[in-house]
Amino acid sequence: MTDAKTMIDETVKSNTVVLYMKGTKTMPQCGFSSRVAGVLNYMGVDFHDVNVLADDAIRQGIKDYSDWPTIPQLYVKGEFVGGCDIITEMTLSGELDQLFEQSGVEYNKDAADKIREANA
C-alpha cells in the first residue's frame, strides 16, 4: 500500500487539479464521477484524471489517503476538496469559483454562472 500512497501523493502534489474518478474525464463510468468531471469540463478546468477502476491499489489507496470513503475525489493544489455532493454544493454556491481563483486555477466564469442559473 505504500507504493499506492506514494503515487497518490506525487500525483496530487504535481498537478494543480486532480480528480480521482471511476472512468476518465472523457468516459466516466459512474454517475457521480460523470457529474464532477462534467462540471470541471464545462467550466473549462484543466485537470488530471485518475481512473481508480484501472488499479485496485489506487482505488483503495485514495480512500485511505483522504480518509474519505467514496469516489470521486477532487484535489486542488494538493488539498482534498471533496466528493460529488460537496463539489455540487460548492459549484452552486460559488465557493468552487472562489477556490479556483484563490488557487490560480483558470476556469470559465460564464460557464460557472450558467450552471448556477440552470439550477436556480
User: How much is the pTM?
Assistant: 0.95
**Has 30 been labeled as part of a binding site?**
yes
Per CATH, domain 2-118 is 3.40.30.10 = yes
Q: Break the chain into its structural domains and give their ranges.
A: 2-118
Q: What is the pLDDT of residues 24-63, one digit of tens each?
A: 999 999 999 999 999 999 999 999 999 999 999 999 999 9
Q: Is 25 helix (H, G, I), strand (E, B) or coil?
A: coil
Residue 90's contacts (CB-CB under 8 Å, 6 or more residues apart) are: 81, 82, 96, 99
| 43 CB neighbour count, 10 Å cutoff | 22
